[in-house]
Structure 1
Amino acid sequence: MELTDKLEILADAAKYDASCASSGAPKRSSEGKDGLGATTGMGICHSYTPDGRCVSLLKILLTNFCIYDCQYCVNRRSSNVPRARFSVDEVVKLTTDFYLRNYIDGLFLSSGIIRSADYTMEQLVLIAKKLRNEHQFRGYIHLKTIPDAAPELIAEAGLYADRLSVNIELPTAEGIERLAPEKNVHTIKLAMGSIRRKLDEKEAEPKAPRYAPAGQSTQMIVGADQTDDSTILSTAETLYGSYKLKRVYYSAFSPIPESPSGLPAKPPPLMREHRLYQADFLVRGYGFQAGELLPSAGNLALDIDPKLAWALTHREHFPLDLNNADLGMIMRVPGIGLRNARRLVELRRARRIRYADLARMRCSMEKIKPFIITADYRPQNDTAPSETLRRALADAPQQLGLWPSLQEAA
């Protein structure tokens, strides 16, 4: 098979893995050095670093052959799809050639399991090792680790990769047992734990060899079984706390040709995936707990974002006086992000916050109006029912005339 044909098959097969962001990679440059690649340049890719840089990644599988038969996976053993396999040197050549053509800044490499977990992991590590040692590649490398592989292989992977990930795939042990019976959630968590220990060792001893400086991540499939968002978020919260994950990624289940009968015939709404990402960000960055966003079993609302949903069910906290509230509560106001919350706290050390200050900061003004008090503004009707607010703020922003503009404080 021609290399281009392999690339077409194995790049397409990799699209189902969402956990390819390059957040957290250290800045490295080949400028003035005998090295190849960088993580500082702008690219054509769809992954973004925390400071907003777009980083292009060659996202491929080493092979889509697999000895496992996970029902939700298009590359499962019983799936009738075209198969291909790269050699180690072919992946190295593609990565370096694509970089020299300015197509990419890094590599995201995963694989189906061939022969054994150890053999597959050895191949992935060898690719990263050759790129780093033989080609002096300083670009971003993300390796998907094989949970059943020997711990020493996973440990070695972290010496060459910027980020490691171990996909848990499904949020419950019951789901994994039913849809991926050849996988073991205990083994997956052992692999996550071994990576965390290595990261902790590096943190305790900064002079130790570099080890996965961008940390580890995982992915959960949404909608492949009946698990609700409450359970998914609780699982994510536990994973963040137990394994210091940088990110949990959510991938909406996509029905595949000749799917087993136990899988849904239709995908979940893509908005459900989007709401999970929003809720996840609130847990990671805003101090929310999963149980606050979904105090009972069920799914996140699709018509409004999770922060607004929380505010509408906790009207006792609003409207919030921005000149007196603490940072933690300001961050919970719909329409105010982390950065602007901190800027408001800094501003009020010099003077009182006014309504125009929020507009200058480009806060979401129509969303924010019902929930704030400033030195020169308070909502005229702060007792409007939550359901009325929900209808006004949900799907028709052009109708947000419910809250009058500037009102003098009483």
Structure 2
Amino acid sequence: MLIKHTPDAYEKLRILGGMATDDILTQPETRAGRGGPYPAPNKNPTHGVYRASMPNGKYINLMRVIFTDFCKMDCHYCPNSHWVPRKRYAFKVDELARTFAELVRRQTVSGLFLSSGIAGDGSKTTEKLVKVVDAVRNKYGFKGYIHMKVMPGAEYEYVEAAYRLGTRLSVNMETPTVEHMQKLSKMKDLKRDILDPMEWVHNLTEGHTNGAVGQATQLVVGAADESDRDIFGRMDQLYTDWKLKRIYYAPFRPVRYTPLEEHPPTPMARSHRLYQVDWLKRVYRFSNDELDLAFTDNGFLPLDQDPKTSIAVENLDAFPMDVNHAKKDQLLRIPGVGPKSAERIVRNRSRHSIDTWRDLTAMGVVRKRAWPFLAFPGHRPPRAKQLKLDLFGEDAREKRRTQAVESVPQPAAPCGERMSCTGCPMLGMPGHPSADSLSALPLAS
């Protein structure tokens, strides 16, 4: 006799929490140990719980979950689309609200990120999410942070209800233009299903204080073969016209059984470059004319050079810039100088002249990136034309590489990579000598 297994709420949380993997509040930093606009979250403490960094630098544990992974839509990139044959799960309204309340009571989470597949249509699914959040707010008394998805195709009354209950709302745009959406879905209409609800959210949040305080969205980078310039055009419109709080750039990953399963994945570096351009526009206040210099002729951002450096290289006549006299907005144009370090430079130079790298690095300036572009007493790199020849010319770069190789003594360690085995983290690992065997190694000539 077969016994049918009915998953409980925490088993559903384990499954459906793992599927809510798109935008949250942060994106992983590419280099461990470096602060930046998107600091890396710590390891998640339990299933369905995500430790995310807030814009103020603090952390919040979110219960991150989708209401159901049933979805009728045909999005070519999505693991929840109807293309993928697998077992599906769904919460009941009070079941999900009660589970969240229990995690809050245990002090496991202090916020909620709620999304869903589209079961039925956008309005019915958004109504379900509204009922969950209404129970969380009014039955269980939660007053904290709730990021709530509005489903594509939701009618105005459900968008308004979500606005009154959520802290932040988002409608995932996924792709920048109508033409690109037609490549990804035959069922979604970009204007009707996505842009209209986003405009409603903007109108509701603009100038009002009795509901959600802003909206965000997500773009799937590379799924529709769009260019970075296409994405930037949409980015500009969303930040300028609808005052979005954030845009997230998820690199496309092929999913088995979907029409795009053979499509190559998008490099994480491409998404990272888009985040950097986003940061330059939203935080550094670079103009569109300045940002246009970061793109190649075919409309993409170089993967081997960050946009701020690309822009600086195209404006070499403005460099090197004297850190003791440049205005704050000019300092922000220097690679390796961010908003905090620019503020520290302005504050400290009012008391004394900045004349050492030690001063600048203590203020947060990244010397490796900044040194060709700034000047102070005792440090003045070559002017524009010579700077471009020395730093960015192929012949000069190859010459420096050759000189560097010739000037470095050959490694003495058996692996050929290090001067000595002493202190090597690989010491004693398979294929590497043990400490006892070091005495038997031949001495370097």
TM-score class normalised by the smaller sequence: 0.7 to 0.9
Aligned to 1:312: 313
Contact kept, 8 Å, 1:304 with 1:390, in 2: the verdict is: no
Structure 2 alignment gaps of length 5 or more: 1-5, 28-43, 405-445
Q: CA offsets per residue over residues 230-282 of structure 1, 9 Å max, x none? A: 1112211111111110000000011111121x565321111111111111111
Name the CA shift for 1:181/1:51 in 2 (closer, same or farther; >3 Å).
Answer: same
Name the CA shift for 1:148/1:380 in 2 (closer, same or farther; >3 Å).
Answer: closer
Name the CA shift for 1:286/1:58 in 2 (closer, same or farther; >3 Å).
Answer: same
Name the CA shift for 1:181/1:387 in 2 (closer, same or farther; >3 Å).
Answer: farther
Question: What displacement does 1:390 show?
Answer: 8.3
SS at match of 2:372: helix
State the TM-score, normalizing by the size of structure 1.
Answer: 0.83
2:10 matches 1:7:
no
Aligned to 1:212: 212
Aligned to 1:265: 263
Question: What displacement does 1:384 show?
Answer: 3.2
Aligned to 1:237: 236
Question: What displacement does 1:361 show?
Answer: 0.9
Name the CA shift for 1:391/1:172 in 2 (closer, same or farther; >3 Å).
Answer: farther
Counterpart of 1:388 (choices 384, 387, 391) is: 391
Structure 2 counterpart of 1:298, one-letter code: G
Contact kept, 8 Å, 2:319 with 2:383, in 1: the verdict is: no
Moved more, 140-149 or 352-361: 352-361
Question: What displacement does 1:110 show?
Answer: 0.6
Counterpart of 2:375 (choices 373, 380, 387) is: 373
Question: What displacement does 1:181 show?
Answer: 2.0
Runs of 4+ in 1 over 6 A off after TM superposition: none
Name the CA shift for 1:307/1:264 in 2 (closer, same or farther; >3 Å).
Answer: farther
Q: CA offsets per residue over residues 15-64 of structure 1, 9 Å max, x none? A: 2x1x21189xxxxxxxxxxxxxxxxxxx9533211221111111111011
| CA–CA separation in structure 2 for the residues paired with 1:387 and 1:83 | 59
Contact kept, 8 Å, 1:105 with 1:140, in 2: the verdict is: yes
Q: CA offsets per residue over residues 164-206 of structure 1, 9 Å max, x none? A: 001101112111122112111112111111111111231xxx5
Contact kept, 8 Å, 2:17 with 2:66, in 1: the verdict is: yes
Structure 2 counterpart of 1:189, one-letter code: L
2:201 matches 1:198:
no
Aligned to 2:359: 357
Question: What displacement does 1:386 show?
Answer: 5.7
| CA–CA separation in structure 2 for the residues paired with 1:149 and 1:9 | 25
CA RMSD of aligned residues (A): 2.6
Aligned to 1:185: 190
SS at match of 2:216: strand
Name the CA shift for 1:76/1:366 in 2 (closer, same or farther; >3 Å).
Answer: same
SS at match of 2:317: helix
Structure 2 counterpart of 1:322, one-letter code: V
| CA–CA separation in structure 1 for the residues paired with 2:244 and 2:294 | 20
SS at match of 2:161: helix
Aligned to 1:333: 334
Question: What displacement does 1:104 show?
Answer: 1.6
Aligned to 1:250: 249
Contact kept, 8 Å, 2:172 with 2:219, in 1: the verdict is: yes
2:73 matches 1:50:
no
Aligned to 2:284: 286
Aligned to 2:304: 303
Structure 2 counterpart of 1:385, one-letter code: K
Aligned to 1:93: 98
Aligned to 1:122: 127
Contact kept, 8 Å, 1:230 with 1:296, in 2: the verdict is: no
Name the CA shift for 1:128/1:390 in 2 (closer, same or farther; >3 Å).
Answer: farther
SS at match of 2:127: helix
Contact kept, 8 Å, 2:316 with 2:388, in 1: the verdict is: no
Structure 2 counterpart of 1:303, one-letter code: D
Contact kept, 8 Å, 2:371 with 2:381, in 1: the verdict is: yes
Moved more, 217-226 or 108-117: 108-117
- Across the two proteins, how many residue pairs are aligned to each other? 368
Structure 1 counterpart of 2:15, one-letter code: I
Q: Which has the larger radius of gyration?
A: 2
Structure 2 counterpart of 1:329, one-letter code: Q
| CA–CA separation in structure 1 for the residues paired with 2:163 and 2:306 | 36
1:39-78 equivalences under 5 Å are 44=45, 45-78=50-83
Name the CA shift for 1:99/1:387 in 2 (closer, same or farther; >3 Å).
Answer: farther
Question: What displacement does 1:13 show?
Answer: 2.1
Structure 2 counterpart of 1:299, one-letter code: F
Contact kept, 8 Å, 1:252 with 1:267, in 2: the verdict is: yes
Q: CA offsets per residue over residues 111-134 of structure 1, 9 Å max, x none? A: 111122221111101111111111
| CA–CA separation in structure 2 for the residues paired with 1:377 and 1:230 | 37
Moved more, 245-254 or 3-12: 3-12
Question: What displacement does 1:324 show?
Answer: 2.3
Question: What displacement does 1:381 show?
Answer: 7.4
| CA–CA separation in structure 2 for the residues paired with 1:100 and 1:183 | 40
Structure 2 counterpart of 1:146, one-letter code: M
Question: What displacement does 1:345 show?
Answer: 2.0
Question: What displacement does 1:353 show?
Answer: 2.6
Structure 2 counterpart of 1:332, one-letter code: R
